[in-house]
Structure 1
Amino acid sequence: MTDHDTMAGVPAAFEAANRLGVRLIPGVEISAKVISKSGLEEPVHILGYYSCCGPSRWQELEAVLARIREGRHQRAQSMISKLKSLKKPVTWESVTMLAGAGVAPGRLHIARALLEAGHVCNLREAFNKYLYDGGPAYSPGCELPAEDAVRLIRDTGGVSALAHPWSLKDALPVVKKLKEVGLHAIEAYRGDGKVNVFAALADTYEILKLGGSDFHGRGDPDETKLGKVALPLLAIRDFLEVAEPIWMSAVKELLNCFAEEKFYIDSERLTGTKFFTGPESIRGDVSLGHIVDNERSKAFLRLSTWLTEENRQALQDVVSKLQLDFQIVTQDEKIFCIVSKEIN
């Protein structure tokens, strides 16, 4: 599951996935840009897929995402100003209300505001007339260079993929450049599970072929519905073969942080109790707990049920070297790995 420049929806998604017995791979879709030889900028989106424990360096990732989201606010205000000059006014209040509390407004929210104001008959018209890339009401944001987005995902323990390459004017030089800095995959499967022309590009540069719905709720009858991409099992297997070693390295980095108390917040002065807590945006994730057993004065890190037996063995070796305690716990017919340590 990915969303534009935020992972704020991950905790709720994990709760739903846990109830339904569905494996969730948390991720983010980073707004980026590529610059052609002629100096023209073109928007591009880079997907980052993470382990069930989230990014290994959450603060580093979130700092970049926060800057992009702030740029989205400025961009939305600029587009509203352009629409006013086009005699199609919408208010900032209506756009932010449609976006929801704490959500950086995007083009979809402005399109919905245009629809509510009666300026267009449907969302497709809003995009086709005003909000398309380079359109009369379009404004760029504070996107990262695409190469930096790929490096950021790599450095925070994720697997990177180029989203909807068909939206690029010329995908070949983009894929070539991003492969050089570590791109892992490209979206090459259509909604019906068949490969598109970008499969050959993936084969040329030896990167994975993935697919996604790119669902935005625009009301477009041609839009692939959420979860309806028939991604072949072979593609999923190939993806996990590449992803799991990367994710395991990220989990090991989290364990090191836990051992060194980089995640630990001592709030004893305020509440009389010590709490272990993870990064704000993945707190509540089924794989990252914030439990303290006061009687034994131990902090616990709960790792996901989706770890394989091989993963668990590798973790046990790391935990042993870090002098942490390790146990397997079954809860509601699900298996969790519990890592704990004494709190001084």
Structure 2
Amino acid sequence: MTASPTAPAAFVDLQVHSTASDGALSPAAVVQAAADAALYAIALTDHDSVEGLAEAREAGERLGVRIVPGVELSTHFEGEELHLLGLHLSNLDAMRDALEEFREQRVERARRIVATLNAHSIPVTMEAVLAEAGPGAVGRPHIARAMLAGGWVREFREAFDKWIGWGRPAYMAKEQFDVADAIALVHSAGGLAVWAHPGELATPARIGRLAERGLDSVEVLHPSHPPYLVTRLVEHTANAGLLPSGGSDWHGTQEGPRKLGGQLVPKVWLDWQDAKVAERLTTAS
């Protein structure tokens, strides 16, 4: 079944990844999956990359799925890593220029991880990692896939649990990017800044401090959020005058909690975001 922007489809998915970063499917294949799931819209939010958006938009026009231009950025706030989504991006050139430096930092981080793995007698190569990444922004999932292909781990998750996850021997932290700078970057590209999968860190006080820095929205629906937390986050977000968002954080899996569209994000949340973007444009003019 194919969704159409003019049909009364009820749900959207505002965090989806493709091979432009660390997803398993091409942007066009992601859109095809969204059409098969009868989604009204998806936001393509690849890590530090907007390179998949042109292909996704072409597929969206052909298949009748609205594509919300997005990106996911890794930032830091008050000593904690914070992932920020930029949704509704309109100035992709501004975002692309800023992301080029981040992509170079990702490659250098991958080189350091590979060197550490080599020092632990795991002879994975940078060439193998880059082959897994293809044209996408290099990330730890590509290292994990190269390790799996080489037979140095038995399954994908083992690479993180034993070697490259936080606190493991080959873990390397990303370059720190202050959340206020990231929010400003998203705004300069015409987008809304969304706190991605905040979990228990999203206290009212912390949401308030981020709102003061320009945060627009909180991703309240996410596979890692149990029902009680979703209820709490909806309340905290509304009390801070921010908008709700939600997504599956889909990377291509066909089953489980991160299945495309599995979070049942209501279309009205997208409508509210659209209204916020329109309001900001009107104010700016």
Check whether TM > 0.5. yes
Does structure 2 conserve the Cα–Cα contact (< 8 Å) formed by 1:2 and 1:29?
Answer: yes
Structure 1 length-normalised TM? 0.63
Which structure ranks higher in relative contact order (CA pairs < 8 Å, sequence separation ≥ 6)?
2
Q: Count residues with an aligned counterpart.
A: 238
Q: Which residue of 1 aligns with 2:264?
A: 230
Q: Alpha carbons of 1:17 and 1:220: their partners in 2 closer, same or farther (altered >3 Å)?
A: closer
Q: Which residue of 1 aligns with 2:75?
A: 32
Partner of residue 206, structure 1: 241
Counterpart secondary structure, 1:129:
helix
1:140 paired with 2:178, answer no
- What SS is found at the alignment partner of 1:177? helix
Residue identity opposite 2:71 in structure 1: V
Hey, which of these two has a bigger chunk of helix by percent? 2
- Deviation, structure 1 residue 124: 1.5
Equivalent of 1:45 in 55, 69, 83: 83
Q: Relative to structure 1, is the Cα distance of residues 212 and 202 closer, same or farther in structure 2, using a 3 angstrom cutoff?
A: same
- Partner letter of residue 234 of structure 2? A
Instruction: State the distance in 2 between where 1:163 and 1:242 align.
Output: 18
Once the 2 structures are TM-superposed, how far is the Cα of residue 196 of structure 1 from its aligned partner?
A: 4.9
Matched, 1:104 2:147: no
Runs of 5+ consecutive residues of structure 2 not aligned to the other structure: 1-43
Cα RMSD of the aligned pairs, angstroms, is 2.5
Deviation at 1:117, TM superposition (A): 1.5
Give yes or no for contact 2:222–2:249 (8 Å, CA) kept in 1.
Answer: no
Select which of 127, 152, 159 maps to 1:93: 127
Aligned to 1:246: 280
Q: Which has the larger radius of gyration?
A: 1
1:209 is displaced (CA, Å) by: 1.2
TM-score, normalisation: structure 2: 0.75
Which deviates further from its counterpart, 72-81 or 225-234? 225-234
For structure 1, list consecutive stretches of 5 or more residues without a partner in the other structure. Answer: 37-41, 253-344
Q: In structure 2, do the counterparts of structure 1 residues 94 and 248 end up closer, same or farther at CA, with 3 Å as the change threshold?
A: farther
Shift of 1:110: 0.5
What SS does the aligned partner of 1:48 have? strand
Deviation by residue 1:22-74 (Cα, 9 ceiling, x = unmatched)? 211111111212243xxxxx3221111125xx21xx44322221111111001
2:77 is paired with a residue whose SS is: strand
Cα offset, 1:234, TM superposition: 3.1
Residue aligned with 1:27, SS: strand
Q: Counterpart of 1:47 in 2: which secondary structure? A: strand
